[in-house]
Structure 1
Amino acid sequence: MKLSVLVVDDEPIARRAIVRLLQEDPDIAAIKECGDGVSAVAEIRTRRPDLIFLDIQMPAMTGIDAVAAIGAEAMPATVFVTAYEQYAIKAFEANAVDYLVKPFSRERFATTLQRAKARLSASGYASDRILQALEALRRREDYLDRIPVRSDEQVSFVDVDDIVWIKASRNNVLIHLANGTHELRETMAALASRLDPRRFARIHRSAIINTRRVKSIHPWFNGYHVVTMDTGQQLRMSRYQHEAFLRLVSTRPEK
Structure 2
Amino acid sequence: MQPIKTLLVDDEFSAIEGLRIRLAQFPAIEIIGEATSVNEALAFINKCMPDLIFLDIEMPGQSGFELVKALQPETYPAIIFVTAYHQHAIRAFEVRAVDYLLKPIKMARLQESVARVEENIALKSSKATMLATRESMNSPTLAHKVMNDSCAVPTEGYYVDKEKLVIQDGRSPTALVPFTDVFWVDAAGDYMCVHTCSDTYVMRARLKNLLHDTLPDEFVQIHKSTIVNLRHIQQLEALRNSEFNVQLANGKMLKASRTYSKELKAAILNKKRI
TM-score, normalized by length of structure 2?
Answer: 0.45
- The structure that is helix-richer by fraction is 2
Tell me the TM-score normalized by structure 1. Answer: 0.48
